[in-house]
Structure 1
Amino acid sequence: MRYEHVINRMPEPLKKLISNQAWCSPYIKEGVSLPDLLTNRKYLIRLLSHLSVDEKNTLRLILSAFGCESFTSDALEKQAGLRMAGAQVAIGLIGLRRAGIIAAFRKAWGEQLFVLPEDAFDSWQALLFPSVTRMTAVEKESSLELLPAGATAMNGTDQETAQVHARGLAQQLFHFLVACSQQPSLPLTNKGTLHKKQLSKLTQHLSMPGDLLRSSGITYAFRDQYDDGTVFMLELAIRMGFLSGNGEELIFNKEAWMSWLQGPYDWQQGQLYRVWRQLLLPAPVWLQHGLAWTERAQTGQWYQVDDITKGILECCSLKSQVNEAESLRESLLSAWILPLSIFRFAELAADEHGGVWFRWLVSPRGENGTYSESELSAGRANSMEQQAKVPSLYVQPDFEILLLPDAALRTEWDIASFADLKQTDHVRTYHVTKESFYRAWEAGNSSEEIIRMLQENAYYDVPEPVILTLRQWGEQAGKVHFEEVTLLRCRSSEIADALLRNEKCQPFLRDRVGDADFIVPKVQLIPLTKCLENMGYSPKSSRKNVPDPAANSGSTLEYQTPGLCYSRDSIQLYEMDAGLPEQGDLYPDMGTIPISWLQDFRSYHGSTRKEMIRKAIEWKSCLQLRKEGQSRVIIPRNLREERSGWILEGLEEHQEISLSGEDWEEMKLILPGINDEGVYKSV
């Protein structure tokens, strides 16, 4: 969940409460939005300076134990362990909610959940863990040996290599969508899946590891029907807006697809990286820290994976889940680093000691993934200009077309329209056949257009036999062909005559068959249907075949068709909880205790001491003890009675301790949020 979604669901009173705080109200008046204030590091530095010690410690604890996964107040208190008293955690959480940093939701049965939205994680990690070991960057790779993309074993020559495409994920998605576009339709079964026979045609050029999604912790529907690679292609296509569904079939959105094809290849890869990243969020806390660390690396420079592992261990508190650096390293490689290599978002190398290094091939947080509209337009224009001026293919006399590794996908789309894919390596190989030519002709491409496209993009002259054959096929095409039309049937010749007399209907009814029927071209079906309805007729038998004009409208990346991968962001299903407790709610009946317990150090009788300890345990607060001028802060956990006296058990500076009454002279009850200013320090 991101802050923009939280703010959109937030009640106005809570928005005003956050906006009126001293740290952000000047920026609000300048027009800065709340989501920007709560995610931009420039503003978060100011917010951090306004947080109390309890709020800072609680936020650090949340990042360390949960990251962007949802949590309950009990789970948060349990994670505090030896570090903070329960009241400190509760007070800190209230303050973080008032600042807008943490959002609260409530399940239908009343359980309260809290979450740190994902788009602030990276900034808070950098601000709250500034001393964590920095990654070492190496610009030269003279001492590193490049590993094959998808290498699963990293020791010397003992390497297994997963199935990958040499050019990356954008190329894989391209082949999948080309296959989708060449199908007459993509009907779904009653279960909502593609038919197996058609599925084999769509996925014949995919090269994906079988456990790609599962190794990254991603689950999906129809596991008995689809493998990981198929699901991933469908998920990408749906999330990018290239495919949508109506319950009966998947529909190819050519306008959105063509818009994406216009961009440069590195931008296309960056767009797909963003989708992959979103599929993993909210990630387990250790992976969230690793993801943030890797994204902080500069594109093109080498970084050691072990540095990321060290950073995760220093940031994370889930030692029970990640017991050793080696197990964490393997988990990081399989769930995050290896997929980056498989998709060609990054590449891997090994040093002489067996250490694994990585470097980005895309820019995960910068220009490749977040082009502005003006930059994108310029990139598209530059990409199209390069396509027009720079040759990118060879045409062979045997009708084979060889596309160079850097040939743009937009150019390859034109080739795929009239040629069949044969090889999908760095150099893609296509073959022109009579059948592939007729496929292009039926789509509206003439032989001269195909010849011109080849001549504009070929390194050398297109072989003359190829040109002559294409022209010959063009002359033969169209002499006899089938055309899909619809038959409009009228109950009588009188009704047919009446339709012809209508000025709006008449242009669509030029081909009359017999006395009472008309042949209607498919493209004229929608306007004719509207005319007939305006005349009071209801041609219902053909309505189910009327295509939805909205299916191919727009090129936005927003989508409505649900994908196949199950969202990890389940908290968005719950209602937002806008109620904020007051600090005094944590200490019921506070008026029944003497005010002196909170104000000054005093020497109390043994029975009063025990009363104060019991009250501190009940309220999960602290005690400040003093002896010979030296004070100490204790988090009491238990008061144990023994024959020789009573013993106070608790925590002090992350250590368990046991104290007898002789171990202090004076004491004071400390209530976080009430009288704790300057008492304890940040952890």
Structure 2
Amino acid sequence: MRYEHVVSRMPEALKQLISSQTWCASYIKEGVSLPDLLTDRKYLLRLLSHLSVDEKNTLRLILCAFGCESFTNAALEKQAGLRMAGAQVAIGLVGLRRAGVIAAFRKAWGEQLFVLPEDAFEAWQGLLFPSVKLKTTVDENALELIPAGSTQTIGSQEEEATVHPRGLAQQLFHFMVACSQQSSLPLTNKGTLHKKQILKLTQHLTLPNDLLRAAGITYAFRDIYDDGAALMLEMAIRMGFISGQGDQLVMCKDAFLTWLDDRYESQQKALYGVWRQLQLPAPVWLQHGLAWMERAETGQWVELDAIVGAIMDCCSEYDQLKEADSLSRALFSCWIAPLSIFRFIELAADKEGGVWFRWLISPREEWESEAGISDDPPNVTEKQSTSSSLYVQPDFEILLLPDVSLRTEWEIAAFADLKQTDHVRTYRMTKEGFYRAWEMGQSSEEIISMLQENAYYDIPEPITITLRQWGEQTGKMHFEEVTLLRCRSSDIADALLRNEKCQPFLRERIGSADFVVPKTQLPQLTKCLESMGYNPKSSRKDESDPGVNTAAKGSYGNQTTGLFYSRDSIQLYEMDAELPERDGLYPDMRDIPSSWLQDFRSYHGSTRKEMIRKAIEWKSCLQLRKEGQNRFIIPRSLREERTGWILEGLEELQEIAWSGEDWEEMKLILPGINDKDI
């Protein structure tokens, strides 16, 4: 869940409460939005300076133990362990909610859930763990590239998976081309594509069979779709290229063409954004690893062990991790390996067997563009690379070089069939492919012109002759979609012909009482017939064009969910806007003597026990003075023995067991009330 979703569901009173706070009031007056205030590092740095010690410690605890996963109050208190008292955690959580940092939701049965929205995770990680540094190198000669798809981890080498050298964007392109060449994409009663059609759509995919399972992603209809087919459908749906329309899927061509107009790196970056979103909210260790990886500059080699070490620094103090080796294997299988297969990153090994990675895309720019920082204008780089980028062979094959844009390849795929996909893609022109293009409105001269503009050398003469011959053959006859107007009698048909307004729309009379009407002129004819007193109706339901969906014109990206089960279940619950008052954490506080909170005193043994029990009840703290030193204690229990009683608790991460005679004076500490000087 992101802050924009949280703010959109936030009651106005809570928005006003957050906006009126000292740290952000001036920014709000300048027009800065709440989502920007709560995600931008420069604003969060100021907020950090306004947080209390308990609020900072609680936020660090959340970042270490949960990340962007939802949590309960009890789970948060349990994770505090030896470090914080329950009241300190509760006070810190209330303060973070008032600042807008943490959002609260409530299940139907009343249980509260809390969450740190994912788009602030990276900024808070950098602010709370500033000392973590990544190990990089510029000496590429000391590294040996690991083939994409290799399942190599630290100290092992296994069989390589077959992958496409150009990455995920190229594979999604082939999938969408196959979709566009189907007459329709009907769904079964279960809501899935037919198996034969799935085989046609995925015949050019090269993805490992266990890709999604290894990444911890689950999806519907596993008995119908393999991992490759499910991933392509999910990507197409979330990018807005495909949508459901009744009992079929339809291609949203405008959104797809908009994506094709981008540079290839931008196309890859958009898909990385979808893949990243599919992983969130991830286990906390993976969230930290993901954020640290995205800090690396594009093209810069970073040691994978450095990422593992950074994760350990962020999570180990709260027992979220066990061993570095097991963490390395988990990180590789569920995150590193898929990024390599999709060609988002490149891997290499050093002489000692250590694994390094570097980005082939600029992942952080994707999130910057969402915040309003635009990338390079689409079309510019791609358009420059479309000239002289392919070879037309005498055997009707077309060879596309690696730098050919997907938009150019889309134009080639309209009239040629893919034979081989690699860095160099091979297409073959066939009569069937030409007919397919002709049905979409392309002529032989347009195809020849397109090839001449993009070919390195002149097109072989036999190719142009054959294309023109095919064009002559296809133009001699064609099917045309028309509507049949059927009259009940010949008298009615004669009356229509005598009407000057209706007569131009009646193209041809068939028999005594029927007319052929062009489909495009049907609305005008209908108005004329209604003005004559007739009420024509269709004998069939009006069906929209199955190949067009204008719901996503001119845009793409995260349009809707598809087959994959969402990990972000908290969005299903109602937002809890009620903020507890700090005094509510200490019921009946007025019933205790004020001196317990104000002064150090040497109380009687019975009073000491009463203060300890009250501290345990409120999950608060005690400040004890022993041998002239003040000791801060988190009490856990009061144990009665024959020889006296024992206070058991925690002091500076250490367990203590003191008798009532082991300190001179004491004071009850209530976080948020009298703990400012501690």
- Give the TM-score band, short-chain normalised: over 0.9
Structural mapping, 1:53-64, within 5 Å: 53-64=53-64
8 Å CA contact 2:250–2:548 kept in 1: the answer is no
Aligned to 1:122: 122
8 Å CA contact 2:105–2:113 kept in 1: the answer is yes
- Note the C-alpha offset of 1:130: 1.4
Q: Secondary structure at the match of 1:234?
A: helix
Structure 1 CA distance for aligned equivalents of residues 454 and 578 of structure 2: 64
Mapped pair 1:398 → 2:363: no
Instruction: Decide whether aligned partners of structure 1 residues 193 and 529 sit closer, same or farther in structure 2, where only a CA change above 3 A counts.
Output: farther
8 Å CA contact 2:239–2:559 kept in 1: the answer is no
8 Å CA contact 2:274–2:558 kept in 1: the answer is no
Q: Secondary structure at the match of 1:401?
A: strand
Which residue, 431, 437, 441 being the options, matches 2:428? 431
- Note the C-alpha offset of 1:217: 1.4
Aligned to 2:347: 348
1:631 partner letter: N
Deviations 1:369-396 (A, max 9, x none): 7389995673313422432xx3110010
Instruction: Decide whether aligned partners of structure 1 residues 140 and 524 sit closer, same or farther in structure 2, where only a CA change above 3 A counts.
Output: farther
Aligned to 1:574: 573
- Note the C-alpha offset of 1:516: 2.9
Mapped pair 1:33 → 2:33: yes
- Note the C-alpha offset of 1:560: 5.7
Deviations 1:255-281 (A, max 9, x none): 111111111111111111111111111
8 Å CA contact 1:152–1:162 kept in 2: the answer is yes
Instruction: Decide whether aligned partners of structure 1 residues 374 and 501 sit closer, same or farther in structure 2, where only a CA change above 3 A counts.
Output: farther
Instruction: Decide whether aligned partners of structure 1 residues 441 and 628 sit closer, same or farther in structure 2, where only a CA change above 3 A counts.
Output: same
Aligned to 1:51: 51
Aligned to 2:271: 272
Q: Secondary structure at the match of 1:257?
A: helix
Aligned to 1:152: 151
Instruction: Decide whether aligned partners of structure 1 residues 528 and 269 sit closer, same or farther in structure 2, where only a CA change above 3 A counts.
Output: farther
Deviations 1:101-139 (A, max 9, x none): 00001111111110000000000001111123x111112
Deviations 1:451-476 (A, max 9, x none): 11111111111111111111111111
Structure 2 CA distance for aligned equivalents of residues 624 and 514 of structure 1: 104
- Note the C-alpha offset of 1:482: 3.1
Structural mapping, 1:263-342, within 5 Å: 263-317=262-316, 322-342=321-341
- Note the C-alpha offset of 1:530: 7.7
Structure 2 CA distance for aligned equivalents of residues 542 and 533 of structure 1: 19
8 Å CA contact 2:418–2:426 kept in 1: the answer is yes
8 Å CA contact 1:154–1:350 kept in 2: the answer is no
Structural mapping, 1:156-171, within 5 Å: 158-171=157-170
- Note the C-alpha offset of 1:246: 1.3
Aligned to 1:537: 535
Give the paired residue count. 676
- Note the C-alpha offset of 1:549: 9.9
Instruction: Decide whether aligned partners of structure 1 residues 494 and 143 sit closer, same or farther in structure 2, where only a CA change above 3 A counts.
Output: farther
Structural mapping, 1:516-531, within 5 Å: 516-521=513-518
Structure 2 CA distance for aligned equivalents of residues 96 and 332 of structure 1: 30
RMSD: 2.3
Which residue, 472, 476, 479 being the options, matches 1:479? 476
Instruction: Decide whether aligned partners of structure 1 residues 189 and 529 sit closer, same or farther in structure 2, where only a CA change above 3 A counts.
Output: farther
Structure 2 CA distance for aligned equivalents of residues 116 and 331 of structure 1: 24
Deviations 1:355-381 (A, max 9, x none): 110000000002697389995673313
8 Å CA contact 1:263–1:376 kept in 2: the answer is no
Instruction: Decide whether aligned partners of structure 1 residues 328 and 181 sit closer, same or farther in structure 2, where only a CA change above 3 A counts.
Output: same
8 Å CA contact 2:154–2:355 kept in 1: the answer is no
Structure 1 CA distance for aligned equivalents of residues 503 and 654 of structure 2: 91
8 Å CA contact 2:347–2:358 kept in 1: the answer is yes
Structure 2 CA distance for aligned equivalents of residues 379 and 320 of structure 1: 46
- Note the C-alpha offset of 1:222: 0.9
Structural mapping, 1:182-197, within 5 Å: 182-197=181-196
Instruction: Decide whether aligned partners of structure 1 residues 593 and 561 sit closer, same or farther in structure 2, where only a CA change above 3 A counts.
Output: closer
Aligned to 1:366: 365
Structure 1 CA distance for aligned equivalents of residues 466 and 345 of structure 2: 44
Mapped pair 1:455 → 2:474: no
Pick which of 499-508 and 554-563 moved more: 499-508
Structure 2 CA distance for aligned equivalents of residues 253 and 290 of structure 1: 35
8 Å CA contact 2:105–2:114 kept in 1: the answer is yes
1:510 partner letter: R
Instruction: Decide whether aligned partners of structure 1 residues 466 and 674 sit closer, same or farther in structure 2, where only a CA change above 3 A counts.
Output: same
- Note the C-alpha offset of 1:590: 0.5
2:30 partner letter: E
Aligned to 1:236: 235
Pick which of 44-53 and 472-481 moved more: 472-481
Mapped pair 1:91 → 2:91: yes
2:577 partner letter: A
Structure 2 CA distance for aligned equivalents of residues 538 and 319 of structure 1: 74
Q: Secondary structure at the match of 1:394?
A: strand
- Note the C-alpha offset of 1:162: 1.4
Mapped pair 1:446 → 2:447: no
Deviations 1:20-61 (A, max 9, x none): 000000000111111100000000000000000000000000
Structure 2 CA distance for aligned equivalents of residues 314 and 336 of structure 1: 19
Aligned to 2:410: 413
Aligned to 1:19: 19
Q: Secondary structure at the match of 1:542?
A: coil
Aligned to 1:655: 654
Structure 2 CA distance for aligned equivalents of residues 542 and 646 of structure 1: 89
- Note the C-alpha offset of 1:494: 4.5
1:230 partner letter: A
Q: Secondary structure at the match of 1:22?
A: coil
1:111 partner letter: E
Structure 1 CA distance for aligned equivalents of residues 58 and 219 of structure 2: 34
- Note the C-alpha offset of 1:158: 3.6
Structural mapping, 1:378-397, within 5 Å: 378-387=377-386, 390-397=387-394
Deviations 1:213-253 (A, max 9, x none): 12111111111111111111111111111111113111111
Instruction: Decide whether aligned partners of structure 1 residues 381 and 500 sit closer, same or farther in structure 2, where only a CA change above 3 A counts.
Output: farther
8 Å CA contact 2:153–2:332 kept in 1: the answer is no
8 Å CA contact 1:267–1:368 kept in 2: the answer is no
Q: Secondary structure at the match of 1:378?
A: coil
Q: Secondary structure at the match of 1:430?
A: strand
Structure 1 CA distance for aligned equivalents of residues 115 and 524 of structure 2: 51
1:338 partner letter: A
Pick which of 154-163 and 114-123 moved more: 154-163
8 Å CA contact 1:401–1:431 kept in 2: the answer is yes
Pick which of 154-163 and 35-44 moved more: 154-163
2:663 partner letter: W
Q: Secondary structure at the match of 2:418?
A: strand
- Note the C-alpha offset of 1:569: 1.0
Aligned to 1:108: 108
1:9 partner letter: R
Structure 1 CA distance for aligned equivalents of residues 580 and 12 of structure 2: 17
> TM-score, normalization: structure 1?
0.95
8 Å CA contact 2:251–2:548 kept in 1: the answer is no
Q: Secondary structure at the match of 2:161?
A: coil
Aligned to 2:462: 465
Q: List gaps (5 residues or longer) in structure 2.
A: none
Mapped pair 1:546 → 2:534: no
Q: List gaps (5 residues or longer) in structure 1.
A: none
